[in-house]
Amino acid sequence: MAATEQTIKQVNTLGSSDYKYGFSTEVDEIRPPKGLNEEIIKFISAQKDEPEWMLEWRLNAFKVFNKLPKPQWAKLNIPEIDYQDCYYYSIPKSLKDKPKSLDEIDPEILETYEKLGIPLKEQKMLSGIAVDAVFDSVSVATTYKKQLSDLGIVFCSISDAVKTHPELVKKYLGSVIPVSDHSFAALNSAVFTDGSFIYIPEGVRCPVELSTYFRINAMNTGQFERTLIIADKDSYVSYLEGCTAPMRDENQLHAANVELVALDNAEIKYSTVQNWYPGDKEGKGGIYNFVTKRGACRGKNSKISWTQVETGSAITWKYPSCILQGDNSKGEFYSVAITNNMQQADTGTKMIHIGKNTSSKIISKGISAGKANNTYRGLVNILSKAKNARNFTQCDSLLIGNKCGAHTVPYIESSNSDSMVEHEATTSKINEDQLFYCQQRGLNSEDAVGLIVNGFCKEVLQHLPMEFAVEAQKLVAISLEGSVG
Amino acid sequence: MLEIKNLHVSIEEKKIIKGLDLSINKGEVHALMGPNGSGKSTLSYVLSGKDKYEINDGTIDYNGKNLLELDVDERANEGLFLAFQYPMEIPGVQTSFFLKTAINSKRKYLGQSEMDALEFAKLMKSKAEELNISTEMLKRDLNVNYSGGEKKKQEILQMSMLSPKMAILDETDSGLDIDALRIVSEGVNKLRNNDNSFLVITHYQRLLNYIKPDFVHIIADGKIVKSGDYSLALELEEKGYEEIS
């Protein structure tokens, strides 16, 4: 059988049963009725016991949302979303009165995280990683809190931060992604439920990886993550998020807003391993992952680095960006996006150069198999004051089979003649001779694909925190399992 | 070891091999010589299981197994090794990592435990030294930016580490300078023993000065037209393919 034929055959056999996080957890939930309106927003705010200013902020965002059209730029086929046919808040009943210790948490929920490989109990906690676990609309627990607070680091759910650190939240929330940015950003601002809040004080280098694990469990429920990370002067933090969801036939929405702020000489490293349920091979079900991530390098010599491994979701719409305001600041974007079967991804970055001597680097690796479509869309914008700005962009696409698509859409705008912008792009098909060579050395076809694709993604994967790099390599291989012979 | 009977092979309707018989016993080295387009490389691909080739007739027995029923990786793990004429480049995959993956694939197939990093490093070092290959080269991506000679040496290192029962060298000598040719040949000679066999495919007699075959076969138009001992290679060098076949 020709390898291409085999490829297609094996891609077809790759059903949703291969998604190993597809189980759901039976819990009693608190859920307001379906629908999006001011009452629901008030309900969410009241559930979270929020101060008045927060509710007003949300209601204002909702007004903005109603005026904004859906963003249209992506090369995606997004079915019309009925915002009224969705739940906006769902929390397990047992978490209503915030549990004071893990003993008070529903064992079912703890077991869910255990199954996902994220044990929350003290004796089993992952070493070197502090975890904030978000279950549907609420943060379940945050590990290593005490050890971190001794260093002055704040790592808690955003809901807690609204109450405990209102001055920081007021100052920075919406300062990087304005409410009016686009309709998904406005929607998130109106109904955001939970996510993480991190503040690293001046001069502190966070000694452990901080991490959030997002789990969508309830049916028909949107998850509206809101994360805010502030790295004060001369500080450093590395943050990682992971995401999974049960297998369900209907689509679910995950619309996140993530804002990062780096002050003078601060560095934020933000890594994502996104493995939401991708839907079945016919494209039924799966998560719509509409995410706005943006970091502001406000201070001089500051640095923000995004690394993402996007393997899940039915549709991924995501452009983690950097606003390089501070002189000598640096932005980086390392991305692996894998689409298989009917998955669609339109992802990339924006690097906005404002300060002098700012530099940015973009390495994007798109892998497409089955009937999937994968687009890199990126903007490099160099403003007139950004003297001596530099950008290097490399976009590589790898096709597996002949029914998938890869597209590269780079936008470059430069208003400064001192700047230097480089763009390299390649598209290749997985080479049958390479596969034959590996198989002749004893590797089976799946191991051979895993090896070649991991080689293709190496430049990106090596930027992940070490603890996760091995997991990510396995995930890359699993996402393409059976896609090539 | 290997018994090919009445083999007929075509590719896209074009007949390439037309009734080939070849029998190779344990401990023997056979050389297969022939002009361009005679079917030499096709035979190596058919033996290793590359797709696109259609077997129209004939049988291939490999150690009591029907070779044609085995997948490419099964054949490899059963000890059949092909040293490629054009070894493939695999960017982003370190050569040593590739070697380790190959060794462990075979061990897994044979139901053995994985070779650990330390044991592997020792084995690689000793084999590389034996073959006069710099271990520096093995830190680079597999075959990427390797010179022609380096690629072939690397093939021989892989062969030596996987210690196959049946090794096929497909025009390994092509494009090699005299030093590389010597290293490659010495590698093969060190590996030769009473339990393994070699099929050395070559266009020129030159390689056979270094690897002395027990048997020489001349292939023309998809068939073996003449077989003999080493002296046949010398005769061929003198008279050319035209006259002999």
Chain A: closest CA distance from residue B105 (Å): 6
Q: Distance between CA atoms of B229 and B213, rounded to whole angstroms?
A: 8
Would the CB atoms of B92 and A444 count as touching at under 8 Å?
Answer: no
Would the CB atoms of A443 and B73 count as touching at under 8 Å?
Answer: yes
- Which of the residues B77, B84, B101 would you substitute to probe the A interface, choosing the one with the greatest number of A C-beta atoms within 10 Å? B101
Beta bridge partners of A244: A215
The answer to whether residue B139 neighbours chain A at the CB level (below 8 Å) is no
Q: What is the pLDDT of residue A233?
A: 97
Q: Considering the domain boundaries, does residue A131 fall inside one?
A: yes
Domain spans of chain B?
A: 2-244
Structural domain count of chain A? 1
Q: Distance between CA atoms of A203 and A267, rounded to whole angstroms?
A: 11
Closest by Cβ to A442, choosing from B73, B87, B92: B73
Each residue's pLDDT, cut to its tens digit, for chain B (245 residues) gives: 999 999 999 999 899 999 999 999 999 999 999 988 899 999 999 999 998 899 999 999 999 999 999 999 999 999 999 999 999 999 999 999 999 999 999 999 999 999 998 999 999 999 999 888 888 889 999 999 998 888 999 999 999 999 999 999 999 888 788 888 888 899 899 999 999 999 999 988 888 989 999 999 999 999 999 999 999 988 888 888 877 76
The answer to whether residue A434 neighbours chain B at the CB level (below 8 Å) is yes
Would the CB atoms of A451 and B98 count as touching at under 8 Å?
Answer: yes
Closest by Cβ to B73, choosing from A1, A444, A456: A444
The answer to whether residue B146 neighbours chain A at the CB level (below 8 Å) is no
Would the CB atoms of B87 and A442 count as touching at under 8 Å?
Answer: no
Would the CB atoms of B72 and A439 count as touching at under 8 Å?
Answer: yes
Q: What is the pLDDT of residue A119?
A: 66
pLDDT profile of chain A (485 residues), mean per 10: 42 48 70 84 89 94 90 81 82 67 70 69 62 68 78 90 93 93 92 90 91 72 88 95 70 88 97 82 83 96 94 88 97 92 89 96 91 91 95 92 88 91 88 92 91 89 78 76 60
Would the CB atoms of A436 and B72 count as touching at under 8 Å?
Answer: yes
Residue B219 has φ and ψ, to the nearest 5°, of -110, 135
A484: closest CA among A406, A405, A401? A401
Closest by Cβ to B88, choosing from A437, A444, A456: A437
All residues of chain B having their beta carbon less than 8 Å from the beta carbon of residue A1 are 51
Specify the pTM.
Answer: 0.83
Q: Considering the domain boundaries, does residue A484 fall inside one?
A: no
All residues of chain B having their beta carbon less than 8 Å from the beta carbon of residue A2 are 51-52
User: Directed axis angle between helix B95-109 and helix A445-461, to 10°?
Assistant: 150
Q: Considering the domain boundaries, does residue A273 fall inside one?
A: yes
Q: Considering the domain boundaries, does residue A40 fall inside one?
A: yes
Chain B: closest CA distance from residue A428 (Å): 13
The answer to whether residue B68 neighbours chain A at the CB level (below 8 Å) is no
- Which of the residues B46, B47, B53, B72 would you substitute to probe the A interface, choosing the one with the greatest number of A C-beta atoms within 10 Å? B72
The answer to whether residue A436 neighbours chain B at the CB level (below 8 Å) is yes
A307: closest CA among A345, A344, A269, A339? A269
All residues of chain A having their beta carbon less than 8 Å from the beta carbon of residue B72 are 436, 439-440
Closest by Cβ to A433, choosing from B76, B88, B101: B88
Give the Å distances, CA to CA, from A400 to A397, B91, B116. 10, 17, 32
Range of the domain at A115: 3-479
ipTM attached to this prediction = 0.95
Closest-CA residue of chain A to B73: A442
Please write the tens of the pLDDT for every residue from B222-231: 999 999 999 9
Chain A: closest CA distance from residue B164 (Å): 10
**Would you give the distance in Å from CA B28 to the centre of its chain?**
14
Please write the tens of the pLDDT for every residue from B22-58: 999 999 999 999 988 899 999 999 999 998 899 999 9
Chain B: closest CA distance from residue A2 (Å): 6
Q: Considering the domain boundaries, does residue A322 fall inside one?
A: yes
Q: Considering the domain boundaries, does residue A485 fall inside one?
A: no
All residues of chain B having their beta carbon less than 8 Å from the beta carbon of residue A6 are 51
The answer to whether residue A10 neighbours chain B at the CB level (below 8 Å) is no
Would the CB atoms of B73 and A459 count as touching at under 8 Å?
Answer: no
Q: What is the pLDDT of residue A219?
A: 66
Q: Considering the domain boundaries, does residue A124 fall inside one?
A: yes
Tokens representing residue A252 in the block: 């679910």
Would the CB atoms of B81 and A458 count as touching at under 8 Å?
Answer: no
The CATH number of B2-244 is which of 3.40.1350.10, 3.30.70.20, 3.40.50.10140, 3.40.50.300? 3.40.50.300
- Which of the residues A428, A441, A447, A461 would you substitute to probe the B interface, choosing the one with the greatest number of B C-beta atoms within 10 Å? A441
The answer to whether residue B102 neighbours chain A at the CB level (below 8 Å) is yes
All residues of chain B having their beta carbon less than 8 Å from the beta carbon of residue A431 are 88
Q: Which helix (H) or strand (E) element contains residue A5?
A: helix A3-13
Q: Distance between CA atoms of A418 and A385, rounded to whole angstroms?
A: 10
Tokens representing residue A426 in the block: 């390649």
The answer to whether residue A443 neighbours chain B at the CB level (below 8 Å) is yes
Chain B: closest CA distance from residue A6 (Å): 11
Q: Distance between CA atoms of A438 and A444, rounded to whole angstroms?
A: 8
Contacts of A154 (CB under 8 A, 6+ apart): A148, A161, A164, A165, A168, A197, A198, A199
CB contacts < 8 Å between A and B, how many?
A: 78
